[in-house]
């Protein structure tokens, strides 16, 4: 890598940002990067020195095998060390850093009249209270705790309480269906589940406890009765100031299993000695869609994840003490784990914790919150940007956005049009846009600009973060040099990379390391341009990215074929103005079933119920037959073209029956 030549299409870091930045120019980035690659041990040991270690490491920062042909794949970071993540992100700041009175979170509810300030010392005392409740419920080191909560402070308390007692949290996004929740509880064999009675999302009231009870009933039917206790938060929006309930939800209750959070916390002591964990003990499991249709339980461990989320947060958002950081993701996704919970707290930062949606009660909600808390670093997804772009500049002009310094993007490739709007309208051409490429599996950013150092090209995630060594491979696994396009892989681990899939080391090795021995395979395609910039071209497996969320086509197909009238289903992605991609489903019906609007509705509902609202198909079309090869393989490439109404079909010679294509183009209009 070299300092890129000055070009018209590039955006350079603003001088005032550079003056105080951790990494002030591209040369400094290159130097630090070189050090991180040539001497990773020295590089990461300096980072580790920022933290508290009950026992220091005896091993190197990273010991690993990435090459399946040489044996099992493993990554170990700072072996022999003992520490506790919760202690490092809370006690360390309160006791040694004098940050007790500093605000850790500004909580902003769904409705603007719901808000709260949570200082570091308050956070610590609530976390300890919760940790003691968990202990009382019998939770021990290594036990799994499932968390199905909306974006309330109790979500952060619960995660950190788990970290404190050494339990492994498994946060399940509270927009997932009871089926998805059940699947994740069963795989993790959690003993405790933490949830809330309900939540408002925009104007809609959702009965979470009802969904939880359905999930637990399903678990029992399938022989999983691991959950013995369910802790239920009373959502503040469902109560008046005096605590009386002001909603019409029926909260189902099992007295032998369910406890109210506030009652359990009332006499729980607010001090709790942390459990000292081995550096490679698991910190959490987070499920992500797998191309087989079964969600994969990605496992992250204590020391490496702490170091990596700490450092990426510090450098990628160029964090400084007076900052107010806001990541709009839900903690149910990795973005929230790394950049709402762990990364910001490890840095002693102040963040906004937002429960609501971008358009309620008005389409200027994001801009209102930026003004209200003087947000300086703002991190959101391209889908949100494209949604808000539609309303033009007017909603932004009502608010003062002059506090903003750095803007971030995550979740999917950002199209240059959205990038430019984000930069010029939201950032008033003053703020660099850091397009951060990463995955649930990578734990933190792996390809990303540094805001004061990297000249930006709209749509490119630019260069690797410290310690990350990307490579571009062709179909035969050969490394391509210079300008190239192919598979994006990494040739060595960094501290924050996943360690395994929960109870499925074999699946871990097959999914990420089998195809190209010696490399971690991301599943994304990428292009490296003449200046060495990386451009993500999207997934190259059977995964779709809808509004920044990965979905597996086979999981949706599995849901569709559960309908008694459906014989076969094939699902492909199709470009969507706001969501990036949306689902276009081809369904072949059984002989006696008719394709009607009613059926389409039923199928949409079925997918929502099986997976969750994010997976709701936009298009369902009748497919009397599917384009197949003679060996019966569905040609998805052809279906993708049909979904896009693009007749540039290329070679169709492998099709068993080419007439199917014309038939599907004709049926398409009815979708």
* Torsion angle (degrees, nearest 10) of CA 5, 8, 10, 14: 100
Shortest reach from residue 353's CB to ligand WT7, in Å: 18
Residue 481: CB minimum distance to ligand WT7, A? 23
Dihedral of the alpha carbons of 217, 222, 224, 225, in degrees to the nearest 10? 40
Selection from 338, 354, 403, 346 nearest residue 375 by Cα: 403
Q: Is the dihedral of CA 158, 107, 252, 294 positive or negative?
A: negative
Smallest gap from residue 437 Cβ to ligand WT7 (A) = 4
Nearer to ligand WT7 (CB atom), residue 132 or residue 312: 312
Residue in this structure with the two tokens 């610590």, named with its chain if needed: 124
Q: Nearer Cβ to ligand WT7, position 545 or 641?
A: 545
Kindly state whether residue 334 participates in binding ligand WT7, applying the rule CB under 6 A.
Answer: yes
Nearer to ligand WT7, 345 or 418 (CB): 418
Residue 312 in contact with ligand WT7, rule: CB under 6 A: no
The rounded distance, in Å, linking the Cα atoms of 189 and 427 is: 45
Tell me the C-alpha distance between 435 and 457, whole Å.
10
Q: Is 520 in the site for ligand WT7 (CB under 6 A)?
A: no
Encode 469-503: b = buried (16+ Cβ within 10 Å), e = exposed. bbbbbeeeeeeeeeeeebbbbbebbbbbbbbbbbe
Nearer to ligand WT7, 24 or 537 (CB): 537
Residues in 259-288 at the binding interface with ligand WT7, rule: CB under 6 A? 288
Q: Does 500 bind ligand WT7 (CB under 6 A)?
A: no
Please state the closest distance from residue 109 (CB atom) to ligand WT7, in A: 24
**Quick check: 545 binds ligand WT7 (CB under 6 A)?**
yes
Q: Transcribe 161-184 into DSSP letters.
A: HHHHHT-EEEE--TTS-HHHHHHH
Between 87 and 445, name the residue whose CB sits nearer to ligand WT7: 445
Measured between alpha carbons, how far is 507 from 441 in angstroms, rounded to an integer? 13
Give the span between the Cα atoms of 422 and 379, in whole angstroms. Answer: 11
Q: Tokens 């919150």 correspond to what residue?
A: 369
Peptide bond between residue 55 and the one before it cis (omega within 30 degrees of 0)? no
Other beta carbons within 10 angstroms of residue 508's beta carbon come to 23
**120/534 with CB nearer ligand WT7:** 534
Nearer to ligand WT7, 183 or 524 (CB): 524
Out of 197, 524, 542, 557, point to the residue binding ligand WT7 (CB under 6 A): 524
- Residue 291 engages ligand WT7 in binding (rule: CB under 6 A): no
Using an 8 Å Cβ cutoff, are 457 and 10 in contact? Answer: yes
User: What is the footprint of ligand WT7 within residues 373-412 (CB under 6 A)?
Assistant: 410-412
Supply the minimum distance, in Å, between the C-beta of residue 111 and ligand WT7: 27
Cβ 516 to ligand WT7 shortest distance, Å: 16
Cβ proximity to ligand WT7, 155 vs 461, nearer residue: 461
Least separation in angstroms between residue 433's CB and ligand WT7 is: 11
Site string for ligand WT7, 218-247 (x = CB under 6 A): ------------------------------
Among 550, 571, 635, 660, binds ligand WT7 (CB under 6 A): 550
Q: Provide the minimum distance between the beta carbon of 65 and ligand WT7 in the complex, in angstroms, as a whole number.
A: 23
Judged by beta carbon, residue 275 or residue 435, the one nearer ligand WT7 is 435
Among 126, 144, 209, 539, binds ligand WT7 (CB under 6 A): 539
Q: Which is nearer to ligand WT7, 288 or 347 (CB)?
A: 288
- Strands, sheet with 115-119, edge to edge from the N-terminal-most edge strand: 115-119, 103-108, 350-354, 324-327, 377-380, 406-410, 433-436
CA angle, corner 119, sides to 399 and 117, nearest 5? 40
Residue 522 contacts ligand WT7 per CB under 6 A: yes
Phi/psi at 244 (nearest 5 deg)? -75, 145
Q: Which of 127, 232, 340, 536 binds ligand WT7 (CB under 6 A)?
A: 536
Minimum separation from the CB atom of position 296 to ligand WT7 (A): 10
Nearer to ligand WT7, 133 or 456 (CB): 456
Report CA torsion sign: 217, 223, 229, 235: negative
Nearest approach, Cβ of 26 to ligand WT7 (angstroms)? 20
Between 457 and 539, CB nearer to ligand WT7: 539
Cβ distance 420 to 392 under 8 Å?
A: no
Measured CA distances, 513 to 466, 495, 516 (Å): 22, 17, 6
Q: How far is the CB of 28 from ligand WT7 (least distance, A)?
A: 23
- The gap from C-alpha 671 to its chain's centroid, in whole angstroms, comes to 31
Q: Which of these, 499, 512, 326, lies nearest to 426 by C-alpha position?
A: 326
Rounded CA gap, 209 and 215, in Å?
10
Of the two residues 413 and 627, which places its CB atom closer to ligand WT7 in the complex?
413
Size of the site for ligand WT7 (CB under 6 A): 23
The CB-of-286 to ligand WT7 minimum distance in angstroms stands at: 9
**Binding segment (CB under 6 A) for ligand WT7, from list 505-513, 517-525, 598-606, 659-667:** 517-525
Among residues 191 and 522, whose Cβ is nearest to ligand WT7?
A: 522
Least distance CB 544 / ligand WT7 (angstroms): 10
Minimum gap (Å) between residue 539 Cβ and ligand WT7: 5
Length of the chain: 671
Site for ligand WT7 in 452-471 (CB under 6 A): 461
Site string for ligand WT7, 410-449 (x = CB under 6 A): xxxx---------------------xxxxxx---------
How far CA 557 is from CA of 293, 554, 595, 641, in Å, comes to 9, 5, 17, 18
Nearest-CB residue for ligand WT7: 440
Helix (H) or strand (E) holding 367: helix 365-373
Report long-range pairs for 593-599 (Cβ below 8 Å, ≥24 apart): 593/564, 593/565, 593/566, 595/622, 595/670, 599/565
- Residues in the site for ligand WT7, rule: CB under 6 A? 288, 333-335, 410-413, 435-440, 461, 522-524, 536, 539, 545, 548, 550
């Amino acid at each position: 890598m070299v300092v890129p030549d000055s070009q018209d299409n590039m955006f350079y870091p603003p001088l005032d940002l550079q003056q105080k930045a951790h990494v002030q120019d591209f040369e400094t980035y290159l130097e630090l990067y070189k050090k991180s690659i040539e001497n990773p041990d020295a590089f990461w040991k300096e980072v580790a020195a920022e933290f508290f270690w009950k026992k220091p490491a005896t091993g190197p920062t990273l010991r690993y095998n990435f090459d399946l042909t040489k044996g099992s794949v493993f990554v170990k970071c700072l072996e022999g060390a003992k520490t506790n993540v919760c202690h490092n992100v809370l006690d360390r700041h309160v006791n040694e850093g004098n940050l007790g009175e500093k605000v850790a979170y500004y909580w902003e509810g769904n409705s603007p009249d719901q808000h709260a300030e949570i200082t570091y010392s308050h956070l610590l005392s609530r976390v300890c209270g919760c940790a003691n409740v968990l202990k009382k419920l019998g939770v021990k080191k290594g036990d799994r705790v499932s968390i199905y909560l909306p974006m309330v402070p109790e979500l952060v308390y619960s995660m950190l309480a788990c970290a404190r007692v050494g339990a492994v949290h498994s946060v399940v996004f509270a927009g997932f269906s009871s089926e998805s929740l059940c699947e994740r509880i069963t795989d993790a064999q959690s003993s405790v589940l933490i949830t809330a009675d309900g939540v408002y999302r925009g104007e809609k009231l959702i009965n979470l406890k009802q969904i939880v009870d359905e999930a637990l009933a399903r678990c029992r039917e399938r022989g999983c009765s691991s959950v013995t206790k369910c802790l239920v938060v009373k959502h503040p929006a469902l109560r008046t100031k005096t605590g009386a309930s002001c909603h019409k939800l029926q909260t189902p209750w099992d007295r032998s299993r369910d406890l109210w959070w506030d009652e359990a916390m009332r006499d729980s002591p607010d001090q709790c000695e942390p459990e000292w964990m081995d550096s490679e003990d698991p910190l959490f499991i987070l499920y992500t869609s797998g191309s087989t249709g079964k969600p994969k339980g990605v496992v992250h461990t204590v020391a490496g994840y702490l170091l990596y989320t700490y450092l990426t947060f510090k450098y990628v958002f160029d964090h400084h003490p007076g900052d107010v950081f806001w990541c709009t993701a839900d903690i149910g996704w990795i973005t929230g784990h790394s950049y709402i919970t762990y990364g910001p707290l490890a840095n002693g930062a102040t963040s906004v914790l937002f429960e609501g949606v971008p358009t309620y009660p008005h389409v200027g909600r994001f801009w209102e919150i930026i003004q209200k808390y003087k947000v300086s670093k703002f991190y959101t997804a391209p889908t949100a940007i494209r949604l808000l772009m539609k309303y033009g500049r007017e909603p932004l002009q009502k608010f003062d956005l002059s506090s903003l310094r750095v803007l971030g993007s995550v979740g999917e490739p950002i199209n240059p049009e959205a990038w430019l709007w984000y930069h010029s309208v939201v950032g008033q051409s003053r703020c660099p846009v850091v397009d951060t490429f990463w995955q649930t599996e990578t734990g933190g950013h792996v390809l990303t600009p540094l805001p004061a150092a990297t000249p930006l090209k709209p749509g490119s995630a630019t260069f690797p973060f410290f310690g990350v060594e990307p490579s571009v491979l062709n179909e035969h696994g050969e490394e391509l040099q210079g300008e190239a396009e192919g598979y994006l892989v990494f040739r060595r681990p960094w501290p924050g990379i996943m360690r395994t899939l929960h109870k499925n080391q074999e699946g871990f090795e097959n999914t990420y390391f089998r195809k190209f021995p010696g490399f971690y395979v991301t599943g994304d395609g990428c292009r490296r341009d003449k200046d060495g910039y990386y451009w993500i071209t999207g997934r190259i497996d059977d995964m779709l990215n809808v509004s920044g969320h990965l979905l597996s086509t086979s999981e949706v197909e599995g849901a569709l074929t559960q309908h008694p009238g459906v014989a076969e289903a094939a699902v492909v992605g199709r470009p969507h103005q706001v969501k990036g991609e949306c689902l276009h489903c081809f369904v072949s019906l059984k002989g006696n079933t008719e394709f009607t609007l009613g059926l389409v509705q039923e199928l949409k509902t079925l997918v929502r119920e099986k997976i969750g609202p994010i997976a709701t198909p936009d298009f369902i079309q009748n497919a009397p037959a599917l384009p197949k090869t003679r060996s019966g393989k569905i040609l998805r490439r052809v279906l993708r073209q049909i979904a896009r109404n693009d007749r540039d079909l290329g070679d169709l010679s492998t099709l068993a029956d080419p007439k199917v294509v014309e038939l599907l183009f004709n049926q398409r209009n009815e979708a």
